[in-house]
Amino acid sequence: MDALMRWGISIILALQGEPRLVGVMQFFTFLGSEGFFLFVMPAMYWCVDAAMGVRLAVVLIASNGLNGLFKIAFHLPRPYWVDLRVKALSSETSYGIPSGHAMNATTICGFVAAQVRKWWAWVAAIVLILMISLSRLYLGVHFPTDVLAGWILGIVVLWAFLALERRAVAWAKRLTMWQQIGLAFVLSLLCLALFIGVLAAIASSPDPITWEQNAALATSLEPGESAIAPRNPEAGVTFAGMVMGLGLALAFLAYRPTQFDARGPLAKRGLRFVIGLIGVVILWLGLKLIAPQEPFMLAMLIRYIRYTLVVFWALYLAPWVFVKMGL
């Protein structure tokens, strides 16, 4: 274990010396989770501001996908994988650096603050980012360096989006609908190829067996369950499917607009959210339940289609349904 990891573990052990903070830290970790942001994005789009919701979706998908790619590229452990003194108050099967919670919180909270353009929004964003990041250290799933890398990459993603958005939109408007859809498909395949390429590049450097052993000792596992699965290609397929769904939705929104407006009475907004969420659950969970696990390539193809449909439903089909229902 190198000096940087030892330094990080000393900080984690000091934080875990205060056991009364477990509930608070688990709450802030939830606020930074992928599931929570995937809940917030459609809520913003369906019930608050559709234009801002679409942009939020782009930022979130980019941040989440790049985070998974960098995790594999760095292929470094989590604290409880390397030191049994660290309590696994939460558990993760992926590699550690960069922290997805820190990266996604930085991009999403920073994006919202940049749109609100009020000093209090920036203060709230910074406090939330810091608390989410601190919770990951406390729970034993990230080193301080993981969090720092998440902040840096999150800032880069946010800056790139804000700097390039107008030019990208202007360029895309010169393409036909089918050209936009074709471009989305090619980009999704490129994202998948990147994941496969990085996995192939690290194939000759296997992870130490002690990582799996320590993680298994620190967590409760079901029979046959692995404590870690950091080289699972599903993350790449998920990212590719979400990119395809996003591109498909943006093309339809540009050439087949739904005339959807997120404003309206609270009752209508609430009903939209319930109906939209039911659609997400049917597509995400329903297809997952019926999808075969073998052969592997078929399972991955269905996963790609599943995430494509979930994003396309959230950004285009659900608003179309809302308009048809008078919502």
pLDDT band at 164 (very low <50, low <70, confident <90, very high): very high
At CA 157, angle to CA 154 and CA 159, rounded to 5?
105
What is the rounded average pLDDT of the residues 170-185? 93
Give the tens place of pLDDT for each residue, 70-91.
999 999 999 999 988 988 888 8
pLDDT band at 197 (very low <50, low <70, confident <90, very high): very high
Give the tens place of pLDDT for each residue, 201-247.
999 889 899 999 888 888 877 776 788 888 888 889 999 999 999 99
Q: Give percent of the chain above pLDDT 70.
A: 99
- Can you give the three-state secondary structure of 125-190, one letter per residue? HHHHHHHHHHHHHHCCCCCHHHHHHHHHHHHHHHHHHHHHHHHHHHHHCCCCHHHHHHHHHHHHHH
Checking if the pLDDT of 143 tops 90, the result is: yes
The mean predicted confidence, pLDDT, of the chain is: 89
The pLDDT assigned to 125 comes to 93
Token pair belonging to 102: 């820190």
Checking if the pLDDT of 22 tops 70, the result is: yes
Checking if the pLDDT of 296 tops 90, the result is: no
Task: Decide: 235 and 195 in contact? Cβ < 8 Å.
Answer: yes
- What's 206's DSSP letter? P
The pLDDT assigned to 44 comes to 84
The pLDDT assigned to 1 comes to 55
The pLDDT assigned to 145 comes to 94
pLDDT band at 297 (very low <50, low <70, confident <90, very high): confident
